[in-house]
Amino acid sequence: MKLDDCNQPTQNALHIQGIIAIAIVSLIWATTFPLTKDAVTSFSPAVLTASRFSVAAAIFTPYLRSLNAQILRDGAILGLLLFACFAFQAIGLETANANRGGFIFSLNVIIVPLLGALLGQPLLIKTVLAAGVALTGIGIMCWENGSLGIGDLLLFGETFIYGVYMLVLQGTAQRHSTLSLTAIQLWIVAVLSAVWAAPQMVGQFETLSNNYGIILYLGLIGTAATIWLETIGQQWISATEAALLCTLDPVLTSVFSFWLLGEKFGVRGFIGTVLVLTALILSQSKSQYIDRKLIFGAENI
């Protein structure tokens, strides 16, 4: 028996664990869009971002030990990208609805593989097909509630930056402890958002105390848990595959937005959901015809 054959079950098991980790991230993220939308009606995006990341960073403080220059550099880059993502999301959801926010975020299904291809990573036929089907479904759902506004454009910005984040994370996650790398990211965002929120914090203490449940959930589950699971998952699956798994977001966000905020989920939403799930199945299928490399990338499949 070849050594590669012995390693195959382990690699497959790690790949499945990576898929499960990112799927859990998608489930949690789907709940954060309606909760963030609800929260920004009570206090400012800056205060919300600072509060949730302060809670998350505090939990991971014990893992800021035995750091070196490389992990500090990588964690700082990832933290800056995350800060931009969450700032754009919080501001955008002041005017955009949470349902559409989940749809726009899933545009990473096409942004990530295209950015990866520009960096020399292989682009598979099935990736393009799955991205096209998912993008069609997302588009159908996205346009269900009218034209684009400034909030939607900010959410597009968040999506693009997060796509870059996923690619950077793919290149760094295997080099470091996931707990330490997560801790650095969270503290970078916590410090930056605290500076951003400082001028507005004085008048918001009472509001924060009245919404501590949402803050704790967004901090512990919607931030600390998701960033850690994302870091774990991308040790074992590519950024492109993670982006495809994130197409679960619009489906789940629609459910939670309908349940928590009473937002509309009509016929277009159901059609889009079917297409997104079809794309997800296509992305995990195995066939000699669609597993071929398309144009870009230096690796052979």
pLDDT digit string, tens, across residues 178-210: 999 999 999 999 999 999 998 887 777 777 777
Tell me the β-bridge partners of 293.
124
If you search the block for the tokens 């410090």, which residue do you land on?
Answer: 191
Low-confidence ranges of the chain (pLDDT < 50): 1-6, 296-301
CA torsion angle 246 247 252 255 (round to 10): 150
| pLDDT recorded at residue 283 | 66
Note the residue count of the chain.
Answer: 301
Residue 50 maps to a domain: yes
Residue 11 maps to a domain: no
| pLDDT recorded at residue 60 | 96
Residue 33 maps to a domain: yes
| pLDDT recorded at residue 43 | 79
User: Count of domains in the chain?
Assistant: 1
| pLDDT recorded at residue 280 | 67
CA distance 119 to 121: 6
Residues 6+ apart with CB under 8 A from 90: 36, 40, 45, 46, 48, 49
Residue 163 maps to a domain: yes
Closest CA to 22 of 277, 177, 284, 230: 230
Closest CA to 90 of 202, 198, 193, 230: 193
Residue 71 maps to a domain: yes
Exposure letters 51-85 (e unless 16+ CB within 10 A, then b)? bbbbbbbebbeebbeebeeebeebbebbbbbbbbb
CA distance 157 to 165: 12
| pLDDT recorded at residue 232 | 92
Spatial contact of 280 and 243, defined as CB atoms under 8 Å apart: no
Residue 2 maps to a domain: no
Residue 106 is part of which domain span? 16-283
Q: Please, is 260 exposed, middle or buried when counting C-beta atoms within 10 Å of its C-beta (0-12, 13-18, 19+)? A: middle
| pLDDT recorded at residue 1 | 43
Residue 21 maps to a domain: yes
pTM of the model: 0.78
Residue 236 maps to a domain: yes
